[in-house]
Amino acid sequence: MSTPLLEIAGVSKRFGANLANDDISLTLAKGEIVALLGENGAGKTTLMSILFGHYVPDAGTVSVDGAVLPPGKPRAAIRAGIGMVHQHFALAPNLTVLENIMTGTEPLWSLSARKGQARAKLAALSARFGLKVDPHARLGDLSVGEQQRVEILKALYNDARILVLDEPTAVLTRAEAEHLFATLKDMARQGLSLIFISHKLDEVMATADRIVVLRGGRKVAERRAAETSKAELAELMVGRTVVRPVREPATPGPVVLEAVGVTLRQSGVDRLKAVDFRLRAGEVLGIIGVSGNGQAELARLLCGTARPTSGDLLLFGKPVGEPGVAGLVEAGIGRVPEDRNKEGAIGDMAVWENAVLERLPRFSRHGLVARKAGMAFAQDIIARFDVRGGGPSTRIRLLSGGNMQKLILGRNLIDRPQILIAAQPARGLDEGAVAAVHERILEARRAGTAVLLISEDLEEVMALADRIQAITGGRLSPPIAAEAADTRTLGLMISGEWTAAKETAHAL
Amino acid sequence: MRFERRDHRPLALVIATSVLAVIAALALSGILIALAGAPVLEAYRRILIGAFGSRLSTTETLTRTAPLMLTGLAAAVAFRARLWNIGAEGQLYLGAITVAAASSHLLGGLPSAVQIPLLLLLGAMAGMVLLLVPLWLRLRFQVDEVVTTLILNFVALLFVSMLIDTVLKDPTAFGWPQSQSVADAAMLPKLLARSRLHIGILVAAALAILIHLVQSRTVFGLQSRAAGLNPAGAVFAGVPLGATLVKVACLSGGLAGLAGAIEVMGVKGYVTTDLSPGYGYSGIVVAMLAGLNPLGVVLAALFSAIMFVGADGMSRALRIPSYIADVTVALSLLTMLVALFFTQYRIRR
């Protein structure tokens, strides 16, 4: 075998007491796609940051074409043909696509002079790899998927031969993700080499030639995609067999939350159009759909941060007036927001403050915060919901995503709410944390809580929900029983084909 | 070498690094003093003498501390909630002119015990109003309050300038543009006889403690901090964002207005356009120097006052421009920011 295009040899990196990378070696051949698989915190991003020269490794080397790269020099990495597509794009929203692609590579004073040349090069790249994008559009006006295309084009514009993608699908819709992987395969066929970081087994199996599994900073396995299975990879990644829990049959109770012809109009657009659903005690109602179809608005409505324009919301059979957040929390509604960093937590506040913020009437007297009671409440959540990584007075941003989510679930579930609104509760979590979150949701269901699960993950909805409704373009399909749902039916429902649902609807 | 974020910030560490930051700032400005050809240690000795060397200088330093504490608190409470009130200077002037107008035209006949609290309240309210306008613009039209509050400083100052040249002009001031004086009953009691030192500094210190308690113990304190750190998260948790910011603005603008009222009622008795040597802007520096901590504001205000009063004395003795005080205060702000970084991170090799 000839020398590999890229070779990472014996790389180690220590952060404080934490060994983020422990003697990791890895090769990449021309035209190959390697997936770097591992849970959050397994060391994937650290390894790629070393590859790209952001971090200086404690030991080990990175070489391209047999030549060792100087450590800690991103420019050298770029010159050697390494291109990085960041998870959080490193682009300027106020510049045009073309300007974004040119910045950092062209000397400032000759920007205008070389624009024509750059545009031609960009057009050629776009055509060659099928990455369509308008070079004069303002970046901030583009969708997330298009912005990612710009990041990829920027790397290619710098003559990248090795493209590194950090969790490229984390921000994409399903359709966008599929399109992306088709593009990546095409790039490999044209001779580019790719490394992509992921913790999603499906996409790794479908796309990569070779899979390198990291766990706890170590390389635990390397497999050819053709010679492994999702089950094996899952076990390698987590280090033990993780089984996602599945709901057991149960008889639901009375209707606790009902929407009748609810419409939500925002800045002149109907985000929700005459939506109907009924949620019963002790059941999980799954709302499935591709994000951007009204889920966020539905969640906001049920979480008390938006009000319906028309139609009725009935809570325990009575119309909801204008309860707002405080009223809903008071009424025993637990709320898990879609974006835990943006809405679910205030990063620089302590865990205990985050635990009591939405229930201040309970944890205050005469306008004074009951600090002791709040600390005890947080300690209770930490103990009962297995929140690791800090105590009540730790700033919550120091917790991992999974532990933060456990705390958010915990502050809602600890009081046995009658209703739980859970929007994308497992998004971005690793396999172990997903199982824990699902287990908690099913536990609540067993205890009689009515759960409204808003999700775009088919597997999640099929495992947890008793009944499923699809959301498309702000409309909600009639429900179908989970037993009648398979991937194909749900896929059709998501795309707006509701005949299957209508047939069974009368029974529900 | 690399940095790691700390879980907790031990109080002793915060205090130690703050002291180190001030020492570092003094050492850095020492280089400039040496360049100006003066003995550095002697210069600092002169600053201390200038600030505390006599009864007169001590009372003068403390008199200067009071308005700095109030404008420092005004900035600190607003910045905590990410309300960028750059308009304390204007709010101060509006508070000052309101007090002068009210006492000379309306309330002058009232006894001190009634008139003083009433005037302080009016001064504070004037400051509030001047901050509520830009806040309304922000909440209604998303207008950046940095710009509006800053610009309103000039509007307020010109407005005051117009008043003291026209309707509120003191006819006995030989044509100088100065306002009519407040009634004698409106003057704040002195802390020390035969000095300018008045009870304003006690009022300011008491407010600092009160605000500290409000921020650390009350629902409003928690909510305003949440609103500042993450507005979307605060709204999701049911914090009434608009109402919280209105309260913060009332507190912040009120403190700045109070600074103006106290300065008029404590020191001069009337308003001129040089009433404040930039107390409103220095308040921002004081607040940052204090890490937005209300109790820290007390010390930071005292430090700034020492530097400004002391530098005058040093300048006379050693013939170095007194601008060195500005340099030192600015440098200490920079060193304090570095120090804050070290209280949040630890070094790992």
For residue A321, what is the domain's CATH number? Answer: 3.40.50.300
Domain end position, chosen among A205, A238, A271: A238
Chain B nearest CA to A270, separation (Å): 22
Which residues in chain A touch residue B247, judged by CB atoms under 8 angstroms apart? none
Q: Does residue A360 belong to any structural domain of this protein?
A: no
In degrees, to the nearest 5, what angle opens at C-alpha A370 toward C-alphas A364 and A375?
Answer: 130
Q: Does residue A363 belong to any structural domain of this protein?
A: no
Which residues in chain B touch residue A304, judged by CB atoms under 8 angstroms apart? 238
Name the 3-class secondary structure at A310: strand
Which residues in chain A touch residue B2, judged by CB atoms under 8 angstroms apart? 15
pLDDT, position A177? 84
pLDDT, position A40? 73
- Whether residue A398 and residue B5 make contact (CB cut-off 8 A), yes or no, is yes
- Whether residue B233 and residue A346 make contact (CB cut-off 8 A), yes or no, is yes
Kindly state whether A344 is in contact with chain B, defined as any CB-CB distance less than 8 angstroms: yes
Residue A72 domain boundaries: 6-238
- Whether residue A347 and residue B5 make contact (CB cut-off 8 A), yes or no, is no
Q: Does residue A365 belong to any structural domain of this protein?
A: no
> Considering only CA atoms, which of A190, A134, A160 is closest in space to residue A152?
A160
Which residue of chain A has the CA closest to B238?
A325
Rounded Cα distance, A144 and A166, in Å = 15
- Whether residue B229 and residue A357 make contact (CB cut-off 8 A), yes or no, is no
Name the 3-class secondary structure at A329: helix
Q: Does residue A249 belong to any structural domain of this protein?
A: no
Rounded Cα distance, B29 and B43, in Å = 11
pLDDT, position B326? 83
Rounded Cα distance, A289 and A271, in Å = 14
Strands A218-224 and A368-369: unpaired
- Whether residue A394 and residue B222 make contact (CB cut-off 8 A), yes or no, is no
Name the 3-class secondary structure at A298: helix
> Considering only CA atoms, which of A325, A326, A323, A305 is closest in space to residue A315?
A323
pLDDT, position A237? 84
The stretches in chain B having pLDDT less than 50 are 349
Same structural domain, A177 and A278: no
Rounded Cα distance, A508 and B60, in Å = 82
pLDDT, position A93? 85
Chain B nearest CA to A137, separation (Å): 25
| Residue A215 near residue A237, CB atoms below 8 Å | yes
Strands A368-369 and A364-365: antiparallel
What confidence tens digit (pLDDT) does each residue in B161-187 have?
Answer: 999 999 899 888 888 889 999 999 999
Which residue of chain A has the CA closest to B220?
A367
Rounded Cα distance, A256 and A254, in Å = 6
Domain residue ranges in chain B: 82-282
Same structural domain, A270 and A133: no
Residue type, A239: G
Rounded Cα distance, A284 and A468, in Å = 9
In the sheet with A269-280, reading across from the earlier edge strand, the strands are: A269-280, A255-266, A310-315, A318-319
Same structural domain, A10 and A140: yes
Rounded Cα distance, B118 and B186, in Å = 10
pLDDT, position B101? 95
| Predicted-complex ipTM score | 0.82
> Considering only CA atoms, which of A92, A159, A80, A95 is closest in space to residue A122?
A159
Rounded Cα distance, B257 and B271, in Å = 13
**Per-run averaged pLDDT (10 residues), chain A, 508 residues:** 81 81 92 89 85 89 90 88 84 87 70 74 88 86 84 89 88 80 92 89 89 90 89 83 78 91 88 93 92 87 90 88 83 91 91 94 92 95 90 87 91 93 88 88 94 90 93 91 85 79 58
The number of distinct structural domains making up chain A is 2
pLDDT, position A331? 86
Express as a percent the part of chain B with pLDDT over 90: 67
Which residue of chain B has the CA closest to A58?
B349
pLDDT, position B8? 62
| Residue A154 near residue A165, CB atoms below 8 Å | no
Q: Does residue A366 belong to any structural domain of this protein?
A: no
Question: What distances in angstroms separate CA A454 from CA A298, A306, A421, one per listed residue?
Answer: 9, 17, 8
Same structural domain, A233 and A320: no
Instruction: Among B219, B232, B235, select the one facing A367 at the smallest CB separation.
Output: B219
Which residues in chain A touch residue B221, judged by CB atoms under 8 angstroms apart? 369
Instruction: Among A346, A349, A369, select the one facing B219 at the smallest CB separation.
Output: A369
Residues B323-329: contacts with CB under 8 Å, at least 24 apart: B324/B29, B324/B32, B324/B33, B324/B36, B324/B43, B327/B29, B327/B32, B328/B25, B328/B26, B328/B29, B329/B282, B329/B285, B329/B289, B329/B303, B329/B304
Same structural domain, A224 and A294: no
Rounded Cα distance, B182 and A143, in Å = 63
Q: Does residue A376 belong to any structural domain of this protein?
A: no
Same structural domain, A158 and A307: no
Residues A479-486: contacts with CB under 8 Å, at least 24 apart: A479/A277, A479/A285, A479/A505, A479/A508, A480/A504, A480/A505, A480/A508, A481/A507, A481/A508, A482/A247, A482/A286, A486/A462
Instruction: Among A349, A367, A395, select the one facing B218 at the smallest CB separation.
Output: A367
Question: What is the number of alpha carbons within 13 Å of residue B146 lying toward its C-beta?
Answer: 3
Instruction: Among B2, B218, B229, select the one facing A349 at the smallest CB separation.
Output: B229
Same structural domain, A221 and A303: no
Tell me the residues of B at the A interface, defined by beta carbons under 8 Å apart: 2, 4-5, 7-8, 217-223, 225-226, 229-230, 232-239, 348
- Whether residue B236 and residue A324 make contact (CB cut-off 8 A), yes or no, is no
| Residue B349 near residue B1, CB atoms below 8 Å | yes
